[in-house]
Structure 1
Amino acid sequence: MLRLGGKQMCRQGAWVLPRVSCLPCSRNILQTATRKMTQQRSPVDFTTSIRKDPKEKDKITALGWFLLLIPATTFGLGCWQVKRKIWKEQLIKDLHEQLNVKPVDLPENLNDLSHMEYRLVNVRGRFLHDKEMRMGPRSLIRPDGGETQGGLFSQRDAGNGYLIVTPFQLSDRDDIVLINRGWVSRKHVDPESRTLAQDQSEVELTAVVRQGESRPQFTPDHKGVNMYLYRDLPRMCAATGAAPVFLDAIYDPQGIRNGPIGGQTRITLRNDHMSYLVTWFSLSAATSFLWYRQIVKRLPF
């Protein structure tokens, strides 16, 4: 019996070689085989698992059609502002034409004047000059419709002044109304500087019906008892005992020198529709371009 390495190597008459184990070599062979299998395996393309039709890719989604409402709505608002602009310009034209319509007599019921703004009416009575009020400062509206611009030293007295508002006692009734006699320069604001224009006799004149004004934004309070910044009818009537009626005297070419100059009626209607329609149409054009670029063409920025 032969012993190799302390172990019996012969079993039932046959020689058996010892089982030799080499762990490092086995590990290297396994890693090499795994590496080759990995290199031969092609990467999986997950994008090919769901195939898309090219037509579906270019199709506009429901969200895309919904976003089209933005340019469509702004375009509609622009068209609406065009109609508003035409309507407002026609209204201003009609109001200017009313200033040339034949005047009517003052109605018996003074409440009817609330629906007659910018209408011409005839009144007869006398001025109560001791209760005279001033409103302003204001620039002068010339008889041709132009308006002077005050502010320069050379034009201070010619372009900047006040409106003289005087209570008017009607001759055929006990009512008192307020009449804006017209514009005077700063140096003729005091009644003593225009004594010839302070007539106490009964007169007949034509005036334009006006309504009161709300306090404009950022406008301070009135400066004094007889000084007003806007047509504050409740306060003016409370101070003079007049009815809530305000009239603008028309221009009189035979007016007394240095006296109030009539014809100071302003058509105070805002007409900003041109800027509005430009804004809406611009927004419509910009959003339409963005919608076409992003939804139809799908171009990145």
Structure 2
Amino acid sequence: MLRFGTQMSRLVALNMQTVCRIPSSRNTQKLITRKMTQQRSPVDWNTSIPTKAAKDKDKIAPLGWFLLLIPATTFGLGCWQVKRKIWKEQLIKDLNKQLSTAPVDLPEDLSDLTQMEYRLVKIRGRFLHEKEMRMGPRSLIRPDGVETQGGLFSQRDSGNGYLIVTPFQLADRDDIVLVNRGWVSRKQVDPETRPLGQLPAEVELTAVVRKGEARPQFTPDHKGGIYLYRDLARMCASTGAAPIFLDAVYDAQAAKNGPIGGQTRVTLRNDHLSYLVTWFSLSAATSFLWYRQIVKRIPF
């Protein structure tokens, strides 16, 4: 009996130890919650919610908006050059069209010719061959409009020569005007080489109204009685002519014995294509830099 009691005591003690080793469900829940809390990464409240300082940092400063004027201005200049290009091309077409219209009589007031450049006019009178001048060197413009190759250092007589500018005494008035009779080769520069083209008789011809030229950049001064450009002031001073310059049109009969007419060039600068490409390129480049530096704040 005593032995049975001892065994029962040992069994009860063993069960009590087992019960103590197993935590209660409540303690188990607390333990699991504590472990999950420890494994979860801490929340950075400073980065998840933007502060006022961070918002102000993202704003574009007034200087940034002011710098936006650079790409905007260059873009506007590019658009303006597009309009200028269209206008200049149309003007060149109109001037070329005037060269094929019917000629008009020379106006009574010669000053009106300053507003009639590239217009065809009819004149009658005689050439003052003793006062003729040379202008060049120039290449020949053939009747079909093709310009032959020739220049200052070219030795080919077929493409290199001079323009003969001769004072022209008008028949119905006392005025003298300057007429570009046309092109001659180097071999025919001297009047003695073309005597059949130096007749003093009265003639009637059609010519194109031209204006004087300003001295081109890097162009030297006239030398040896040869003019490098249409310097009306000096030409008129040496001949006593009015400041009127005319280009004689092509005449097949006159070209056989004298200068070849029809040497008019429509010389209007048309660089607007290069200008608009330049302005639009600058606009694109500065727009990219503005977006990179001001908006994205990407350093170089």
Please report the TM-score for the alignment, with normalisation by the length of structure 2. 0.80
1:93 corresponds to 2:97: no
Alpha-carbon contact 1:196-1:256 (below 8 Å) kept: no
Match of 1:238 in 2: 237
**Distance in 2 of aligned mates of 1:151 and 1:113:** 31
CA contact (8 A) 2:134 2:162 kept: yes
**Residues 1:217 and 2:249 aligned together:** no
2:36 is aligned to none
Please list, as runs of the form range in 1=range in 2, the aligned pairs for 1:1-301 lying within 5 A after superposition. 52-151=52-151, 156-224=156-224, 226-257=225-256, 259-301=258-300
Change beyond 3 A, Cα 1:256–1:82: closer
Deviations 1:120-171 (A, max 9, x none): 0000111111111101111111222221121599861011100000111111
Q: Which amino acid aligns with 1:261?
A: I
Query: Aligned letter for 1:143?
Result: P
Cα distance change of structure 1 residues 73 and 256 upon mapping to structure 2, 3 Å threshold: closer
The CA deviation string for residues 73-120 of structure 1, in whole angstroms up to 9 with x for no partner, is 100000001001111111111111111111100111111111111110
Cα distance change of structure 1 residues 200 and 239 upon mapping to structure 2, 3 Å threshold? same
The DSSP-based 3-state class of the residue aligned with 1:275 is: helix
Work out whether residues 142 and 148 of structure 2, in 8 Å CA contact, stay in contact via their aligned partners in 1: yes
| Between 135-144 and 57-66, the greater mean CA deviation after superposition | 57-66
More helix by share: 2
Cα pair 1:164 1:184 within 8 Å, conserved = yes
**Per-residue CA distance 1:16-72 (angstroms, 9 max, x = gap):** xxxxxxxxxxxxxxxxxxxxxxxxxxxxxxx99xx5454333222222111111111
Distance in 2, matches of 1:151 and 1:233, equals 23
Q: Which one-letter code corresponds to 1:206 in the other structure?
A: T
Per the alignment, residue 14 of structure 1 pairs with none
1:254 Cα deviation after fit = 2.5
SS in 2 for 1:182: strand
The sequence identity of aligned pairs, in percent, is 82
User: In structure 1, how many angstroms separate the alpha carbons of the residues matched to 2:57 and 2:244?
Assistant: 72
Structure-2 separation of matches of 1:113 and 1:236: 18
Unaligned 5+ segments in structure 2 are 1-45
Q: CA–CA distance in 2 between the matches of 1:129 and 1:233?
A: 18
Query: How big is the shift at 1:220?
Result: 1.5
Give the 3 Å change call, closer, same or farther, for CA 87–229 of structure 1 in structure 2: same
Q: Per-residue deviation at 1:257?
A: 2.4
CA contact under 8 A between 1:188 and 1:258: conserved in structure 2?
Answer: no
Tell me if the contact between 1:184 and 1:258 (Cα under 8 Å) persists in the aligned partners: no
Letter in 2 for 1:228: Y
Q: Which residue of 1 aligns with 2:16?
A: none
Measured in 2, the distance between the counterparts of 1:152 and 1:66 equals 52
Say if 1:133 and 1:164, in contact at 8 Å, map to a contact too: yes
Distance 2:277 2:292 in 1: 23
* Structure 2 counterpart of 1:19: none
> Is contact 1:141-1:264 (8 Å) kept?
yes
- The one-letter code matched in structure 2 to 1:276 is Y
Once the two structures are superposed, residues 260-289 of structure 1 have per-residue CA deviations (whole angstroms, 9 ceiling, x without a partner) of 111111112111111110000000000011
TM-score by length of 1: 0.79
Kindly provide the amino acid, as one letter, of the partner of residue 177 in structure 1: V
Is the partner of 1:205 in helix, strand or coil? strand
